[in-house]
Chain A
C-alpha cells in the first residue's frame, strides 16, 4: 500500500501515545474527584449503617451545614490563621534569602551560624512554643515567631544550595569580565538559585500553616482574634464535632490553596527556561 501524500500517518505507537495522553489529561482530575466522592459516600454510609451519633461522628451533610451556618465565625478565624501564616512566610522568605545571601558572601558567617540554623530546624516547635509565649507579650508576635521558626529553614537551606550551584564556568567568565560581587550575585547567583528557592518556598508555605496552627494550640487562649486551631480546641471542649470537622476542612483547603498558589508562581517564573517547568515535546 502506498502512502497518501499530505496525509498524516499514525501508527500503533502514536495511537497508544494519544490514548496515554488522554488518560493522563482527564485522569489527573477525575480520579482524585472520584476517590473523594467515594470516600464521602462511604463515610456517610458508615455513620448511617452503624447509627453513630453526630457528637461522635457527624454525617458529611451535617459538616457542610455547620460550615455554612458557622461561616462568619469560621471565616474570621480563617483570616486570623491565614494572616499569621502569610506573614510568617513573608518573614521566612526575607530572612531565609537574606541569610542565604550572607552565607554565600561570607564563609565566616556561614561557618558561625549554619549549625544554629540547623538546631532551630530540628527542635520541634511544640517544644519551643510555650517558652516563646512566656517571653513574648504580644500573642500575634508569638504566633508569628513559631510559624516563622518552622517555615524559615527550607527557604534558607534551598536558597543556599541554589546560590552555590551556579555553573563554575559561568563564575569563571564573570571573574574574567571583572564582575563585582554584587553583579555576580545579581546576574548569576540569584537567577541560578531561583528554582531551588521556589522549591523551598513550596515546602515553607505548608510548614508556615502547620507552625501557625501548632502555635495556636499552644497559645490556647481564645476570644476575639483567635484562629482556626483555637476554634477546633473550643469545639472539642463543647463536643461540637461537626464544627471541628468544618474547621479542619478549612485548614486543609487553605494548605492546598497555598501549595497550589506557590506552585503556580513557580511555574510562571520558570516556564520559559527551567527544565522542571518546560513541557517535553517528545
Chain B
C-alpha cells in the first residue's frame, strides 16, 4: 500500500495561474483561478451550479483553452497525464467491460494481449474482474461507474479528473463508491480533482476543498480537511466529520450568499 506524504511535502503535478475563461468575449465562466495540484492530492471543487467547476475541469483536460492565464504541467505535458470520469459512466455500449477498459491503451496502439494484466488489475481493484465479457447494459448504474473508474486509472495517469461521478446514483451506492474510491486512492496513490456539489462527499473524500462561487465563477476559499486516511464509516459518523462539514458548509453558504 502506498502512503501519501503529508500536505506540503508532495511534488507538484499541475499549476493553474490566474486562469480565466470567457465565452463570447463577455460571459465570464471562470475568473482568475489559481490552483496548485500536488502528487497524491485529493482536491474537491465544491460550489453551486454555474460556479465554473466543470469549466475548470475542461480547461485542465485540454478540452478548451483559457482566455487568460496559464495551466502548467510540472515537467511538461506527457501522453499519460490524464484519466477522466464523467457524470455518466460514458461507456461504449457495443464493447465489453474489458474492451472499454482497454480503450486508453488501444488508442495508444497497444494490443489487448500486451496490457491484459493491467486491465485485469484495474477491474479487480473495482471488484469487477468477473465481468470482463459483460456488456454495459448488463450492469447496474454503480457497476458501470466502477468500469468508468477502472478505465480512468488503468494507465496510472498523473491526474484523474472526476466530474460529479456519483451525482446520478442513489445514496447507498454513492457511499459505497466513496469508500471504494478512497481504498483505490490508498492502493495506487493517484492524484484526483473531484467536482461535486455535495458538502458531505467533498469532506469525506478530499484533503483539500476548493470552494467556488458563481457569476462570475471563481475560487472563494480553500478548506483543508485535516483528517487522516484511511477514512471509513467511523469517520463518517464522527464529531470531527460533522465539524468539517459545518465548516465547509458555512464557506459554501458564504460563497452562495454573496450572489444568491
Contact = CB atoms under 8 A, between A and B. Distances in A.
Contact of A176 (B84, B93, B94): B84
A259 interface: no
A187 B61 contact: no
A176 B92 contact: no
B12 interface: no
B145 interface: no
B230 interface: no
Contacts of A272: 94, 135
Given A169-B86, A172-B61, A273-B137, A177 B92 contact: no
Contact of A179 (B61, B92, B94, B107): B107
B101 to A, nearest CB: 13
Given A273-B137, A278-B137, A178 B92 contact: no
Contacts of B107: 174, 177-179, 183, 187
A175 B63 contact: yes
Interface string B54-83: 000000011100000000000000010010
A170 interface: yes
B93 A273 contact: yes
Contacts of A278: 137
Nearest to B99: A187
Contacts of A173: 84, 86, 90, 103
Contacts of A248: none
A170 B63 contact: no
Interface in B129-185: 135-137
A187 B61 CA distance: 21
Interface residues of A, number: 22
Contacts of B93: 273-274
A94 B183 CA distance: 51
B104 interface: yes
A175 B95 CA distance: 19
Nearest to A177: B107
A187 B103 contact: yes
A191 interface: yes
Nearest to B155: A177
B106 interface: yes
A176 B103 contact: no
Residue of A172, A176, A178 ringed by the most chain B CB atoms within 10 A: A176
Interface in A187-227: 187-188, 191-192, 194
A177 B104 CA distance: 6
A65 interface: no
29 contacts: A167-B90, A169-B86, A169-B90, A172-B86, A173-B84, A173-B86, A173-B90, A173-B103, A174-B107, A175-B63, A176-B61, A176-B62, A176-B63, A177-B107, A178-B79, A183-B107, A187-B103, A187-B106, A187-B107, A188-B92, A191-B94, A192-B94, A194-B94, A273-B93, A273-B94, A273-B135, A273-B136, A273-B137, A275-B137
Closest 5 CB pairs of A and B: A169-B90, A191-B94, A177-B107, A169-B86, A179-B107
